[in-house]
């Protein structure tokens, strides 16, 4: 089974738990409930990870297209933009600002406790991919403990979600420069 599929079934992007944490983050960030259309987008925005061999590699970075395509078919253009814009990378490549879903998606990390997040990430193989990417970018060494890495991510996502700007912290995937849309 590929890592993207594992992520959706029992990992970091688990199809029940991840939308719950994104929903909570939306409530905290925007001080109101998402509309029913926004709620559908919160649920489906990461479904494009299904069948992906990696999370942040060239294939994994295309994951926003999965949920966005469904949103366009089921709900319309505005919801397509909400889903496609949840990725800072996709937003930058399209020359658009990240959507409101981006900030809730990043802030959800604050509502996923380390003792629940790390075992899921380890079990699927996501943890080592994420940690290798951070190490390769010079952010946090691979020799850091998993808890230290999680704390670094927590602080990074807190800054991103509060600032609600795509450029507030550097993008963490060196491979994205090779990809064209």
Q: Which long-range contacts (CB under 8 A, 24 or more apart) does 73-81 make?
A: 74/40, 75/37, 75/40, 75/41, 76/37, 78/37, 79/37, 79/38, 79/40, 79/41
Neighbours of 96 (CB within 10 A): 13
167-180 pLDDT tens trace: 555 555 555 443 43
Residue 47 phi/psi, 5-degree rounding, is: -60, -20
What would the mean pLDDT of 95-117 be, rounded to a whole number?
Answer: 93
Taking the model in full, what pTM does it have? 0.88
51-89 pLDDT tens trace: 999 998 889 999 999 999 999 999 999 999 999 999 988
Identify the band that residue 141 occupies on the pLDDT scale cut at 50, 70 and 90. Answer: confident
Contact 100, 14 (CB under 8 A): no
Which residues have a Cβ under 8 Å from the Cβ of 111 and sit 6 or more positions away? 21, 24, 25
pLDDT value of residue 160: 78
Identify the band that residue 181 occupies on the pLDDT scale cut at 50, 70 and 90. Answer: very low
Three-state DSSP class for residue 50: coil
pLDDT over 80 at 139, yes or no: yes
């Amino acid at each position: 089974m590929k890592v993207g599929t594992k992520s959706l079934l029992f990992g970091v992007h688990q199809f029940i738990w991840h939308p719950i944490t994104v929903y909570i983050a939306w409530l905290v960030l925007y001080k109101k409930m998402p509309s029913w259309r926004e709620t559908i987008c919160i649920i489906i925005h990461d479904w494009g990870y299904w069948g992906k061999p990696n999370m942040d590699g060239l294939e994994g970075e295309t994951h926003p297209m999965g949920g966005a395509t469904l949103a366009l078919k089921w709900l319309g253009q505005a919801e397509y933009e909400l889903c496609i814009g949840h990725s800072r990378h996709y937003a930058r490549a399209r020359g658009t600002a990240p959507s409101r879903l981006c900030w809730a998606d990043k802030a959800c990390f604050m509502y996923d406790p380390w003792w629940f997040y790390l075992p899921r990430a380890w079990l699927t193989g996501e943890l080592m991919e994420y940690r290798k990417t951070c190490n390769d970018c010079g952010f946090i060494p691979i020799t850091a403990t998993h808890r230290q890495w999680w704390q670094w991510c927590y602080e990074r996502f807190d800054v991103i979600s509060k600032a609600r700007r795509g450029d507030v912290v550097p993008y963490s995937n060196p491979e994205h420069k090779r990809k064209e849309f």
